[in-house]
Amino acid sequence: MEEIIEGYVDHIIYRNQDNGYTVACLVVDGEELTCVGTFQFLNEGENIRAKGHYTEHPSYGQQFSVYSYEAVIPQDSLAMERYLGSGAIKGVGAALAARIVKKFGEDTLRIIDEEPERLAEIKGISERKAREIAEQVEEKSDMRKAMMFLQQYGISQNLGAKIYQQYKQDMYRILKENPYKMAEDISGVGFKIADEIAARIGIHTDSDYRIRSGLLYILLQSTVEGHVYLPQKILLQRAEGLLGVKAQYMEKHIADLSIDRKIVLKEIETQAGKERIVYASQYYQTELHTAQMLHELNLKDTADDRVIQDKIRRIQKSENIELDEMQQKAVAEAVKNGLLIVTGGPGTGKTTTINAIIRYFEMEGLDIALAAPTGRAAKRMTEATGYDAKTIHRLLELSGMPEESSGGIYFERNAQNPLEADVIIIDEMSMVDIFLMHALLSAIVSGTRLILVGDVNQLPSVGPGSVLKDIISSGKFSVVELVKIFRQASQSDIVVNAHKINQGIPVSLDNKSMDFFFLKRYDANVIISVLITLIQKKLPKFVDAEPYDIQVLTPMRKGLLGVERLNVILQQYLNPPEKEKKEKEYRNGLFREGDKVMQIKNNYQIEWEVRGLYGIPVEKGVGVFNGDTGILREINAFAETVTVEFEERKFVEYSFKQLDELELAYAITIHKAQGSEYPAVVIPLLGGPKMLMNRNLLYTAVTRARKCVTLVGDENTFYEMENNRMEQNRYTTLDLRIKESY
């Protein structure tokens, strides 16, 4: 039953600064009462009126659970003294508050509001301090009024605080005229939230502000699909669906956005003729600048071919390796070109080639830097070369300091503070999106050699762009494709079958292999039962690994064999509930200590620490990235935090509010597995959307395994995927921008 109580805040027992969750002691009619709820601006000494209901806590007894509250202006001298002396007003303590109220009595708040200069009549208050006290009281009053105004429109206190801090008194005008401005100015407010607020305020659906904001929103959302631009025809179709406004009424707004430089309009040649395309300005400029920087790096060296070949022979002799013709060509091209792309599938000797290139430049006395997009890929690169490799983010020295122009990401290494290396080698280039490529190139000075290594047949980057593919298709740079499968690799059916899949050659599923198996099952629940048996009993001994190291890779998020359902089931078997394991329910799921989890969005500000012996921090930094996996080590219900240990003993603390950045990772999508390698992978296959279930996806899944691939499901789905060359088309034009720069 809902009740209303009124009292003053005697003291605050606990407050979570991130989400405003507060436990406070409220004095109601002379009796102390514990209140719990979300109080964004609650201060000790304040009078409040709260709605809620009484509950009985098993440990702490009776509490009042608050749904909503409002501040109440102090009515008597005692309440005013309590409020002013509570610490809510900076520079006013209990003694000074008592003197103010003694002097002005129940007229205190009116004096502060209307005649603040009179506060200087009190000993210890200068005219300047009098003004500061008045400003603070006014600010707090304004904030309360603002929160009450925002609550009329269903705006949460958290979001309300952000809106008020951004706009102050301009808030009222902006919300009534153009609430869509919030989508541009405030982190966490997208078009849809702004649109909901606008609807409550009464903004018309055909408002100019709404249409312009909606068009920009669609362009920015399309980057989730990997696009850098959209054809105008598709942009207008999507806008009609989102906004409920006819396309002909929106063309004027596209022209206006172009005049305001919010978007860039271009025409390109297609098979159907000329087509108008639309970029958000930031994405166009990023592609354009990336193309220009690639061009500037592409310097030619006049080194003597005979000298190069002589040094390659010496490397082969000293390293006891034999390079084939294309590998030797790759080393020579690395010497002769400022920019080189080396591409090839599994087992074609990319690592051997990288090692030979490193040895060549070591002989020349050059400084070499190695990097890859993910921690796992960088670790593999280090193990394969014996050379320290970093993630690209660490190479560029990611800082926690936000930068608006790049979506909250800032690198210490940039055009003003470039990398100090003569040669930079980047592996797993298919994972690098247009923004990370732009940041990398910005930190490389002309004259530095850049070598990009990757498999162009892998899935493209999670972020926007098709960087590796576009650089190759531009035809302006030296590209060496390694195609020969070496003898040792040719003994692995994982490697052989991956190449067959890529070439559309039927793969034998007779299970005569030692590392590639297909278990035919046709019922989703039977498939899941097989997955559990494989992970718990069969594969750990077979590949000499822990069950947690064996990864389930599935094509989809939804459905009977999608990530969401599989994770709930696998959690029950691989990390069952135990008395000593704490749990945290979140949205429709559950986290448990010991869970395998994955970061699902880039967080450039979150802090991590590497812990050494006895848990002592030995290194600190910032940034956890989409696809990073770890183990949930601790759930702290009192502090409302969870602690996750990622690879290389990196510990990260998340507030409960940040749990939307994590999800269970017993099963992950094949897309999320890019750049990672596991001792064994298990892949359930039982149909799915044709656009998704393609050769590209199957090839990427199979090549994630180091020792064993086991597919479980319908062999017809396997063959359909192998024969399906349809890939989701990405709208990118880096290749065109490169051609324009020549």
What pLDDT, on a 0 to 100 scale, did the predictor assign at position 405? 39
Q: What is residue 243's predicted lDDT score, i.e. its pLDDT?
A: 86
**Region label for 559, one of left (φ > 0), alpha (ψ between -120 and 50) or beta (otherwise):** left
Cα pseudo-dihedral 81, 86, 89, 95, rounded to 10: 60
Measured CA to CA, the distance from residue 194 to residue 182 in angstroms comes to 7
* Predicted pLDDT at 206: 80
Does the pLDDT at position 406 exceed 60?
no
Enter the tokens of residue 648.
């290389």
User: CA-CA distance, 549 to 544, in Å (whole number)?
Assistant: 10
The pLDDT, as a whole number, for residue 401 is: 56
| Range from 208-217, 281-290, 386-395, 555-564 carrying the lowest mean pLDDT | 208-217
| Segment (H or E) for 354 | helix 350-363
Question: What is the model's pLDDT at position 612?
Answer: 80
Q: Flag whether pLDDT at 402 surpasses 60.
A: no
- Indicate the annotated binding residues: 347-351
Q: Find, among 582, 556, 588, 581, the residue nearest to 663 by Cα.
A: 588
Sign of torsion, CA 351 356 361 362? positive
pLDDT of residue 683: 97
Q: Residue 87's pLDDT is what?
A: 63
Q: Tell me, what's the pLDDT at 148?
A: 66
Compute and round to an integer the Cα radius of gyration of the chain.
31
Helix (H, G, I), strand (E, B) or coil at 434: helix
The structure tokens listed for 566 are: 């599989």
- Sequence-distant (6+) residues with CB within 8 A of 710 are 517, 518, 519, 534, 539, 680, 681, 682, 683
Kindly tell me if the per-residue pLDDT of 153 is higher than 60.
yes
Give me the sheet containing 273-280, strands edge to edge: 229-231, 273-280, 263-270
Q: Which residues partner with 709 through β-bridges? A: 516, 681
**16 vs 492: which has the higher pLDDT:** 492
Instruction: Estimate the crossing angle of helix 695-702 against helix 715-723, to 10 degrees.
Output: 110
Of residues 604 and 373, the one with the higher pLDDT is: 373
Instruction: Give the model confidence (pLDDT) of 465-475 as tens digits.
Output: 999 999 999 99
pLDDT at residue 30, as a whole number: 83
DSSP strand E in 455-614: where?
Answer: 478-482, 516-520, 551-554, 583-586, 589-592, 596-599, 603-611
pLDDT for res 623? 86
- Contact by Cβ (8 Å): 5, 49: yes
Bridge partner list, 712? 519, 684
Classified as helix, coil or strand, 464 is coil
Measured CA to CA, the distance from residue 42 to residue 22 in angstroms comes to: 9
CB atoms closer than 10 angstroms to residue 329 = 18
Helix 191-201 / helix 208-221 crossing angle, nearest 10 deg? 160
Residue 487 DSSP label: H
Residue 664: both structure tokens together: 């269970």
- Dmax (CA) for the chain in angstroms is 97
Q: Over the stretch 310-327, which tens digit does the pLDDT of each residue have? A: 999 999 999 888 899 999
Between 596 and 620, where is the model more confident?
596
Name the DSSP letter for residue 118: G
Of residues 115, 379, 405, the one with CA closest to residue 286:
405
Residue 157 pLDDT more than 90? no
Which has more pLDDT, 303 or 488?
A: 303
Taking only the tens place, the pLDDT of each residue in 125-137 is: 888 888 887 777 7
Please report where in the chains the tokens 């719990």 appear, as a residue. 36
Residue 404 has pLDDT above 60, yes or no: no
The predicted-structure confidence for 687-732, as pLDDT tens digits, reads as follows 888 878 999 999 999 999 999 999 999 999 999 999 998 877 899 9
Phi, psi of 712, deg, nearest 5: -130, 120
Q: Which two tokens stand for residue 146?
A: 């603002």
CB-based contacts of 11, cutoff 8 Å, min separation 6: 24, 25, 44
Give the pLDDT confidence score for residue 636 in this predicted structure: 92
Q: Which residue(s) pair with 55 in the sheet?
A: 63
Phi-psi region of 6 (alpha: psi -120 to 50; beta: other; left: phi over 0): beta
pLDDT at 626: 84
How many CB atoms are located within 10 Å of the residue 143 CB?
18
The confidence score (pLDDT) of residue 487 equals 65
User: Mean pLDDT, to the nearest integer, of 112-134?
Assistant: 80
Closest to 389 in 3D by CA, of 400, 379, 403: 379
Structure tokens at 691: 């656009």
Cα–Cα distance measured from residue 429 to residue 377, given in angstroms and rounded to the nearest whole number:
11
What tokens appear for 235 in the block? 């942009």
DSSP-H helix ranges across 515-611: 524-533, 539-543, 563-574
What is the pLDDT at residue 38? 78
Higher pLDDT, 181 or 526: 526
Q: Which amino acid is at 126?
A: S
pLDDT tens by residue, 604-613? 888 999 988 7
- Structure token pair of residue 601: 């969005």
Range from 54-68, 413-427, 593-607 that averages highest in pLDDT: 413-427
Element (H, E) at 369: strand 368-372
Q: Name the more confident of 619 and 490.
A: 619
pLDDT mean over 2-16 = 85
Percent of the chain at pLDDT exceeding 90:
52
At 156, is the pLDDT very low, low, confident or very high (cuts 50, 70, 90)?
low
pLDDT of residue 635: 95
Res. 502 pLDDT band, cuts 50 70 90: very high
Residue 372 has pLDDT above 80, yes or no: yes
pLDDT of residue 489: 65
Distance of alpha carbon 387 from alpha carbon 399, whole angstroms: 24
Top mean pLDDT of 39-43, 150-154, 245-249 is at: 245-249
DSSP letters for 182-200: HHHHSTT--HHHHHHHHHH
Kindly indicate the confidence band of residue 110, based on its pLDDT and cuts at 50, 70 and 90. confident
pLDDT surpasses 70 at 151: no
Q: In the sheet that 629-636 helps form, which strands lie side by side, from edge to edge?
A: 617-624, 603-611, 650-655, 641-646, 629-636, 596-599, 662-664
The token pair at 698 is: 């199957």
- Domains of the chain, each with CATH number or no CATH: 1-70 (2.40.50.140), 299-486 (3.40.50.300), 492-578+590-727 (3.40.50.300)
Q: Is pLDDT at 363 greater than 70 in this prediction?
A: yes
Average pLDDT over residues 432-459: 95
User: b or e along 278-293 (b: 16 or more beta carbons within 10 Å of the residue's beta carbon)?
Assistant: bbbbbbbebbbebbeb
List, in order, residues 6 or more apart from 261 with CB less than 8 Å away: 281
- The β-bridge partners of 25 are 11, 34
Q: Average pLDDT of the chain?
A: 87
Task: Tell me the residue length of the chain.
Answer: 742
Q: Which residues are annotated as a binding site for ATP?
A: 347-351
